[in-house]
Amino acid sequence: MKVSCFSANVGQAINKVNQYAIDKKHIVGSVVMVAKEGQIIYQQASGYADKEQKSTMQVDSQFLLSSVTKPIVSAAALCLAEKGLLKLDSPVTDYLPYFTPKLENGQQPVITLHHLLTHSAGLKYRFCEPHGEGIYNTLQISDGFDQIATDLDENLHRLSKAPLLFAPGTNWCYSLALDVLGGVLTAVTQQPLEEIIKTTITIPLNMAKTGFTIPDNNQLVTHYYNALPEPLPMPSPYFMQLDESSNNGIVSYDPKRIFNHKAYHSGGAGMVGTAPDFMQFLLSLTSINTDLSNNKLMDTMAKCYISSEYGTKGPGWGFGYGGAVLDDPILAQTPQSKGTIQWGGVYGHNWFYDPQQELAVVILTNTAIEGMLGHYPVKIRDAIYHCLA
Protein backbone atom coordinates (compact mmCIF):
# COMPACT_ATOMS: atom_id res chain seq x y z
CA MET A 1 0.00 0.00 0.00
CA LYS A 2 1.30 3.45 -0.92
CA VAL A 3 2.01 5.75 1.99
CA SER A 4 -0.38 8.42 0.65
CA CYS A 5 -3.29 5.97 0.48
CA PHE A 6 -2.46 4.54 3.88
CA SER A 7 -2.29 8.06 5.32
CA ALA A 8 -5.82 8.92 4.17
CA ASN A 9 -7.29 5.68 5.45
CA VAL A 10 -5.52 5.73 8.81
CA GLY A 11 -6.55 9.32 9.44
CA GLN A 12 -10.23 8.49 9.07
CA ALA A 13 -9.91 5.37 11.20
CA ILE A 14 -8.09 7.09 14.09
CA ASN A 15 -10.47 10.06 14.03
CA LYS A 16 -13.37 7.67 14.60
CA VAL A 17 -11.60 6.09 17.57
CA ASN A 18 -10.79 9.50 19.03
CA GLN A 19 -14.33 10.79 18.68
CA TYR A 20 -15.81 7.65 20.24
CA ALA A 21 -13.39 7.74 23.20
CA ILE A 22 -14.14 11.40 23.92
CA ASP A 23 -17.90 11.09 23.39
CA LYS A 24 -18.02 8.09 25.75
CA LYS A 25 -15.81 9.99 28.24
CA HIS A 26 -13.12 7.34 28.25
CA ILE A 27 -10.48 10.03 27.84
CA VAL A 28 -10.49 13.82 28.17
CA GLY A 29 -7.97 14.62 25.48
CA SER A 30 -5.14 13.18 23.41
CA VAL A 31 -2.50 13.76 20.78
CA VAL A 32 -1.89 10.91 18.34
CA MET A 33 0.91 10.79 15.78
CA VAL A 34 1.75 8.13 13.20
CA ALA A 35 4.86 7.87 11.02
CA LYS A 36 5.36 5.42 8.18
CA GLU A 37 8.79 4.84 6.61
CA GLY A 38 10.15 7.81 8.53
CA GLN A 39 7.44 10.19 7.29
CA ILE A 40 4.79 11.64 9.61
CA ILE A 41 1.46 10.80 8.00
CA TYR A 42 -0.95 11.67 10.81
CA GLN A 43 -1.00 14.05 13.75
CA GLN A 44 -4.13 15.14 15.52
CA ALA A 45 -5.09 16.70 18.83
CA SER A 46 -8.51 15.75 20.19
CA GLY A 47 -10.63 16.74 23.15
CA TYR A 48 -9.55 19.03 25.97
CA ALA A 49 -6.24 19.94 27.54
CA ASP A 50 -8.34 21.31 30.42
CA LYS A 51 -12.02 20.46 30.27
CA GLU A 52 -13.10 22.78 33.09
CA GLN A 53 -11.46 25.76 31.39
CA LYS A 54 -12.69 24.62 27.94
CA SER A 55 -9.08 24.65 26.75
CA THR A 56 -8.79 22.48 23.66
CA MET A 57 -5.90 20.07 23.20
CA GLN A 58 -3.12 21.23 20.86
CA VAL A 59 -0.65 19.06 18.96
CA ASP A 60 2.21 20.66 20.90
CA SER A 61 0.53 20.51 24.33
CA GLN A 62 2.90 19.35 27.06
CA PHE A 63 2.31 16.22 29.12
CA LEU A 64 3.96 14.77 32.20
CA LEU A 65 5.74 11.91 30.45
CA SER A 66 6.17 9.54 33.43
CA SER A 67 7.75 6.37 31.98
CA VAL A 68 8.01 7.80 28.47
CA THR A 69 11.13 9.27 30.11
CA LYS A 70 12.75 5.82 30.17
CA PRO A 71 13.62 5.34 26.47
CA ILE A 72 15.08 8.87 26.39
CA VAL A 73 17.40 8.19 29.32
CA SER A 74 18.20 4.72 27.96
CA ALA A 75 19.24 6.24 24.63
CA ALA A 76 21.40 8.81 26.44
CA ALA A 77 23.22 5.96 28.20
CA LEU A 78 23.88 4.28 24.84
CA CYS A 79 25.23 7.55 23.45
CA LEU A 80 27.61 7.95 26.39
CA ALA A 81 28.69 4.33 26.01
CA GLU A 82 29.40 4.97 22.32
CA LYS A 83 31.69 7.81 23.40
CA GLY A 84 33.51 5.49 25.79
CA LEU A 85 32.32 7.24 28.95
CA LEU A 86 30.75 4.09 30.39
CA LYS A 87 30.41 0.38 29.70
CA LEU A 88 27.07 -1.39 29.84
CA ASP A 89 28.59 -4.56 31.32
CA SER A 90 30.31 -2.64 34.14
CA PRO A 91 29.12 -2.92 37.75
CA VAL A 92 27.00 -0.06 39.00
CA THR A 93 29.43 0.27 41.92
CA ASP A 94 32.11 1.43 39.45
CA TYR A 95 30.08 4.65 39.24
CA LEU A 96 28.01 4.64 42.45
CA PRO A 97 30.16 2.91 45.10
CA TYR A 98 27.44 3.27 47.73
CA PHE A 99 24.76 1.45 45.73
CA THR A 100 25.16 -2.02 47.23
CA PRO A 101 21.74 -3.66 47.76
CA LYS A 102 21.85 -7.23 48.98
CA LEU A 103 19.81 -10.37 48.52
CA GLU A 104 17.62 -11.68 51.33
CA ASN A 105 20.44 -14.05 52.33
CA GLY A 106 22.84 -11.15 52.84
CA GLN A 107 24.89 -11.74 49.69
CA GLN A 108 25.82 -8.68 47.65
CA PRO A 109 25.61 -9.57 43.95
CA VAL A 110 27.01 -7.57 41.05
CA ILE A 111 24.46 -5.30 39.34
CA THR A 112 25.52 -4.05 35.89
CA LEU A 113 24.23 -1.19 33.78
CA HIS A 114 22.72 -3.80 31.47
CA HIS A 115 20.69 -5.12 34.40
CA LEU A 116 19.41 -1.60 35.03
CA LEU A 117 18.48 -1.01 31.39
CA THR A 118 16.54 -4.29 31.21
CA HIS A 119 14.91 -4.15 34.68
CA SER A 120 16.63 -7.40 35.60
CA ALA A 121 18.56 -6.00 38.58
CA GLY A 122 16.22 -7.31 41.28
CA LEU A 123 14.72 -3.91 42.09
CA LYS A 124 11.04 -2.94 41.96
CA TYR A 125 8.73 0.07 42.31
CA ARG A 126 7.08 1.16 45.53
CA PHE A 127 3.69 0.89 43.81
CA CYS A 128 4.33 -2.85 43.38
CA GLU A 129 3.81 -3.39 47.10
CA PRO A 130 0.28 -4.62 47.96
CA HIS A 131 -1.90 -2.03 49.71
CA GLY A 132 1.08 0.28 50.19
CA GLU A 133 2.67 -2.05 52.69
CA GLY A 134 6.27 -3.27 52.37
CA ILE A 135 9.91 -2.34 52.75
CA TYR A 136 9.84 0.31 49.98
CA ASN A 137 7.00 2.08 51.80
CA THR A 138 8.73 1.67 55.16
CA LEU A 139 11.91 3.23 53.76
CA GLN A 140 9.88 5.98 52.05
CA ILE A 141 11.46 5.29 48.67
CA SER A 142 10.21 7.66 45.98
CA ASP A 143 8.93 6.26 42.67
CA GLY A 144 10.13 9.44 40.94
CA PHE A 145 6.74 11.00 40.20
CA ASP A 146 5.27 11.25 43.70
CA GLN A 147 5.22 13.79 46.52
CA ILE A 148 8.09 12.35 48.60
CA ALA A 149 10.66 15.10 49.22
CA THR A 150 14.16 13.69 48.74
CA ASP A 151 17.17 14.25 46.50
CA LEU A 152 18.46 11.52 44.18
CA ASP A 153 21.39 10.41 46.35
CA GLU A 154 19.13 10.03 49.39
CA ASN A 155 16.55 8.07 47.40
CA LEU A 156 19.21 5.73 46.01
CA HIS A 157 20.68 5.25 49.49
CA ARG A 158 17.19 4.27 50.70
CA LEU A 159 16.76 1.95 47.71
CA SER A 160 20.13 0.35 48.47
CA LYS A 161 18.82 -0.69 51.90
CA ALA A 162 15.91 -2.70 50.45
CA PRO A 163 16.64 -6.38 49.72
CA LEU A 164 16.78 -7.43 46.09
CA LEU A 165 13.91 -9.57 44.82
CA PHE A 166 16.24 -11.93 42.97
CA ALA A 167 19.83 -12.29 41.82
CA PRO A 168 20.51 -9.83 38.97
CA GLY A 169 19.98 -11.34 35.55
CA THR A 170 17.82 -14.23 36.76
CA ASN A 171 14.35 -12.65 36.51
CA TRP A 172 12.50 -9.49 35.50
CA CYS A 173 10.62 -6.83 37.49
CA TYR A 174 9.63 -3.34 36.41
CA SER A 175 11.54 -1.02 38.68
CA LEU A 176 13.37 2.13 39.71
CA ALA A 177 16.39 0.91 37.73
CA LEU A 178 16.30 3.90 35.38
CA ASP A 179 16.47 6.27 38.34
CA VAL A 180 19.63 4.43 39.38
CA LEU A 181 20.91 4.74 35.80
CA GLY A 182 20.24 8.47 35.98
CA GLY A 183 22.49 8.55 39.03
CA VAL A 184 25.17 6.70 37.08
CA LEU A 185 25.01 9.20 34.20
CA THR A 186 25.27 12.07 36.66
CA ALA A 187 28.30 10.50 38.34
CA VAL A 188 30.04 9.81 35.02
CA THR A 189 29.61 13.29 33.59
CA GLN A 190 29.53 15.29 36.82
CA GLN A 191 26.49 17.08 35.40
CA PRO A 192 22.83 17.14 36.47
CA LEU A 193 20.71 14.64 34.55
CA GLU A 194 18.78 17.53 33.01
CA GLU A 195 21.99 18.85 31.39
CA ILE A 196 23.02 15.40 30.20
CA ILE A 197 19.69 14.88 28.44
CA LYS A 198 19.85 18.38 26.95
CA THR A 199 23.33 17.99 25.48
CA THR A 200 22.89 14.35 24.43
CA ILE A 201 19.28 14.19 23.24
CA THR A 202 16.98 17.21 23.29
CA ILE A 203 19.24 19.96 21.91
CA PRO A 204 20.65 17.86 19.03
CA LEU A 205 17.09 16.84 18.09
CA ASN A 206 15.57 20.29 18.71
CA MET A 207 13.14 18.86 21.29
CA ALA A 208 12.54 22.32 22.73
CA LYS A 209 9.50 21.37 24.85
CA THR A 210 10.95 18.27 26.48
CA GLY A 211 12.92 18.27 29.72
CA PHE A 212 12.85 17.97 33.49
CA THR A 213 11.51 21.47 34.12
CA ILE A 214 8.81 23.70 32.66
CA PRO A 215 9.30 27.37 31.73
CA ASP A 216 6.89 29.97 33.02
CA ASN A 217 4.94 30.00 29.75
CA ASN A 218 4.13 26.30 30.05
CA GLN A 219 1.47 24.52 28.04
CA LEU A 220 1.06 21.65 30.47
CA VAL A 221 -2.25 19.84 30.18
CA THR A 222 -4.45 19.15 33.18
CA HIS A 223 -4.12 15.49 34.08
CA TYR A 224 -7.19 13.41 34.92
CA TYR A 225 -7.91 10.05 36.48
CA ASN A 226 -10.53 7.53 35.39
CA ALA A 227 -13.83 7.89 37.26
CA LEU A 228 -17.54 7.44 36.62
CA PRO A 229 -19.42 8.93 34.91
CA GLU A 230 -16.37 10.81 33.57
CA PRO A 231 -12.68 11.39 34.38
CA LEU A 232 -11.89 13.89 37.14
CA PRO A 233 -8.99 16.35 37.50
CA MET A 234 -6.13 14.74 39.38
CA PRO A 235 -5.40 16.43 42.72
CA SER A 236 -1.88 16.77 44.02
CA PRO A 237 -1.13 14.30 45.52
CA TYR A 238 -3.41 11.58 44.20
CA PHE A 239 -3.32 7.90 45.24
CA MET A 240 -4.65 5.37 42.73
CA GLN A 241 -5.56 1.94 44.11
CA LEU A 242 -4.73 -0.79 41.59
CA ASP A 243 -6.67 -4.04 41.28
CA GLU A 244 -5.64 -7.62 41.98
CA SER A 245 -4.08 -8.01 38.53
CA SER A 246 -1.59 -5.32 39.57
CA ASN A 247 -0.98 -6.76 43.04
CA ASN A 248 -3.34 -4.27 44.72
CA GLY A 249 -0.58 -1.69 44.66
CA ILE A 250 -1.04 2.05 45.18
CA VAL A 251 0.27 4.49 42.57
CA SER A 252 1.23 7.78 44.20
CA TYR A 253 0.96 10.68 41.75
CA ASP A 254 1.91 14.32 42.18
CA PRO A 255 1.06 16.38 39.07
CA LYS A 256 2.67 19.44 40.66
CA ARG A 257 6.03 17.72 41.19
CA ILE A 258 7.33 19.13 37.90
CA PHE A 259 7.05 22.66 39.35
CA ASN A 260 9.14 21.76 42.40
CA HIS A 261 12.69 22.79 41.54
CA LYS A 262 13.97 20.74 44.49
CA ALA A 263 12.50 17.48 43.16
CA TYR A 264 15.22 15.20 41.86
CA HIS A 265 15.48 14.44 38.15
CA SER A 266 13.95 10.98 37.86
CA GLY A 267 15.48 9.00 35.00
CA GLY A 268 12.47 6.72 34.99
CA ALA A 269 9.55 9.12 35.25
CA GLY A 270 10.53 12.77 35.67
CA MET A 271 10.24 14.45 32.29
CA VAL A 272 7.67 16.61 30.55
CA GLY A 273 7.28 16.72 26.79
CA THR A 274 5.15 16.76 23.64
CA ALA A 275 4.08 14.21 21.07
CA PRO A 276 6.01 15.88 18.19
CA ASP A 277 9.18 15.94 20.29
CA PHE A 278 8.88 12.29 21.23
CA MET A 279 8.11 11.27 17.64
CA GLN A 280 11.23 13.16 16.54
CA PHE A 281 13.20 11.21 19.13
CA LEU A 282 11.65 7.87 18.14
CA LEU A 283 12.41 8.36 14.45
CA SER A 284 15.98 9.43 15.23
CA LEU A 285 16.59 5.98 16.69
CA THR A 286 15.78 4.28 13.38
CA SER A 287 18.62 5.68 11.24
CA ILE A 288 22.42 5.68 11.22
CA ASN A 289 24.60 8.79 11.36
CA THR A 290 22.01 10.93 13.11
CA ASP A 291 22.50 13.85 15.48
CA LEU A 292 22.41 11.28 18.30
CA SER A 293 24.66 8.50 17.13
CA ASN A 294 26.61 6.98 14.28
CA ASN A 295 24.74 3.77 14.95
CA LYS A 296 21.10 2.81 14.48
CA LEU A 297 20.17 2.90 18.17
CA MET A 298 16.86 1.13 17.57
CA ASP A 299 18.77 -2.04 16.66
CA THR A 300 20.28 -2.06 20.14
CA MET A 301 17.18 -0.96 22.04
CA ALA A 302 14.70 -3.31 20.35
CA LYS A 303 16.62 -6.52 21.04
CA CYS A 304 14.82 -9.07 23.19
CA TYR A 305 17.37 -9.23 26.03
CA ILE A 306 14.74 -10.53 28.45
CA SER A 307 12.92 -13.65 27.30
CA SER A 308 9.22 -13.44 26.52
CA GLU A 309 8.71 -16.26 29.04
CA TYR A 310 8.59 -13.48 31.63
CA GLY A 311 5.62 -11.81 29.89
CA THR A 312 6.89 -8.31 30.61
CA LYS A 313 3.89 -6.65 28.95
CA GLY A 314 1.80 -9.78 28.86
CA PRO A 315 2.22 -13.11 27.04
CA GLY A 316 4.63 -12.99 24.11
CA TRP A 317 6.56 -9.91 25.24
CA GLY A 318 10.18 -9.78 26.36
CA PHE A 319 12.17 -6.63 27.12
CA GLY A 320 14.86 -4.54 25.49
CA TYR A 321 16.27 -1.14 26.41
CA GLY A 322 13.47 1.36 27.07
CA GLY A 323 10.50 -0.85 26.32
CA ALA A 324 8.99 -4.31 25.91
CA VAL A 325 9.91 -6.22 22.76
CA LEU A 326 7.39 -8.43 20.95
CA ASP A 327 8.67 -11.98 20.51
CA ASP A 328 5.44 -13.88 19.71
CA PRO A 329 2.61 -11.83 18.09
CA ILE A 330 0.22 -14.80 18.11
CA LEU A 331 0.68 -15.42 21.82
CA ALA A 332 0.38 -11.68 22.46
CA GLN A 333 -2.75 -11.48 20.29
CA THR A 334 -1.55 -8.36 18.50
CA PRO A 335 -1.30 -7.40 14.81
CA GLN A 336 2.12 -5.85 15.47
CA SER A 337 5.18 -7.52 13.94
CA LYS A 338 7.77 -9.54 15.81
CA GLY A 339 10.47 -7.17 17.04
CA THR A 340 8.08 -4.31 17.83
CA ILE A 341 9.19 -2.27 20.85
CA GLN A 342 6.45 -0.68 22.96
CA TRP A 343 5.91 0.96 26.33
CA GLY A 344 3.85 3.72 27.94
CA GLY A 345 3.49 6.09 30.85
CA VAL A 346 1.32 5.95 33.95
CA TYR A 347 -0.16 9.41 33.31
CA GLY A 348 -1.88 7.88 30.25
CA HIS A 349 0.55 7.34 27.37
CA ASN A 350 1.49 4.64 24.88
CA TRP A 351 4.02 4.38 22.06
CA PHE A 352 5.49 1.72 19.80
CA TYR A 353 7.78 1.18 16.83
CA ASP A 354 7.27 -1.73 14.45
CA PRO A 355 10.55 -2.18 12.51
CA GLN A 356 9.12 -4.59 9.94
CA GLN A 357 6.40 -2.12 8.99
CA GLU A 358 8.65 0.93 9.62
CA LEU A 359 5.73 2.21 11.67
CA ALA A 360 6.02 4.60 14.63
CA VAL A 361 3.01 5.51 16.79
CA VAL A 362 2.86 7.99 19.68
CA ILE A 363 -0.27 8.29 21.85
CA LEU A 364 -0.21 10.88 24.64
CA THR A 365 -3.38 11.39 26.68
CA ASN A 366 -4.18 13.32 29.84
CA THR A 367 -6.25 10.47 31.28
CA ALA A 368 -4.79 7.87 33.65
CA ILE A 369 -4.75 5.06 33.39
CA GLU A 370 -6.96 4.54 30.31
CA GLY A 371 -4.45 6.09 27.92
CA MET A 372 -1.80 3.56 28.91
CA LEU A 373 -3.59 0.29 29.65
CA GLY A 374 -7.21 0.84 28.61
CA HIS A 375 -9.16 0.09 25.46
CA TYR A 376 -8.19 3.40 23.83
CA PRO A 377 -4.58 2.65 22.80
CA VAL A 378 -5.60 -0.86 21.69
CA LYS A 379 -8.32 0.57 19.44
CA ILE A 380 -5.84 3.07 17.97
CA ARG A 381 -3.38 0.26 17.29
CA ASP A 382 -6.01 -1.99 15.69
CA ALA A 383 -7.37 0.85 13.54
CA ILE A 384 -3.88 1.48 12.14
CA TYR A 385 -3.14 -2.16 11.35
CA HIS A 386 -6.58 -2.66 9.81
CA CYS A 387 -5.60 0.02 7.32
CA LEU A 388 -2.35 -1.82 6.58
CA ALA A 389 -4.14 -5.09 5.82
Q: How confident is the model over 70-118, as pLDDT tens digits? A: 999 999 999 999 999 999 999 999 999 999 999 999 999 999 999 999 9
Which string of DSSP letters, residue by residue, matches 342-386? EEEETTTEEEEEETTTTEEEEEEESEETHHHHSHHHHHHHHHHHH
Cα separation, 240 vs 304, in Å, equals 31
Cβ proximity of 285 and 296 under 8 Å: yes
Which string of DSSP letters, residue by residue, matches 44-93? EEEEEEETTTTEE--TT-BEE-GGGHHHHHHHHHHHHHHTTS--TTSBGG
Of the pLDDT bands very low, low, confident and very high (cuts 50, 70, 90), residue 319 is: very high
Contacts of 293 (CB under 8 A, 6+ apart): 78, 79, 82
Please name each of the domains of the chain with its CATH number.
3-65+207-226+274-388 (3.40.710.10)
- Lowest average pLDDT, out of 27-41, 102-116, 132-146, 206-220, goes to 206-220
Residues assigned a catalytic role:
67
**pLDDT at residue number 254:** 96
**pLDDT at residue number 149:** 79
- Per the prediction, the chain carries an average pLDDT of 95
| pTM beyond 0.85 | yes
**pLDDT at residue number 366:** 98
Query: Which burial class, exposed, middle or buried, applies to 9 when counting CB atoms under 10 A from its CB (0-12, 13-18, 19+)?
Result: middle
Please state at what angle helix 69-82 crosses helix 275-284, rounded to 10 degrees. 40
pLDDT of residue 211 exceeding 60: yes
pLDDT of residue 1 exceeding 60: no
- pLDDT single digits (tens) 251-287: 999 999 999 988 999 999 999 999 999 999 999 999 9
pLDDT of residue 4 exceeding 80: no
> Residue 168 corresponds to which amino acid?
P
**pLDDT at residue number 389:** 81
**pLDDT at residue number 217:** 62
Mean pLDDT of 17-21: 98
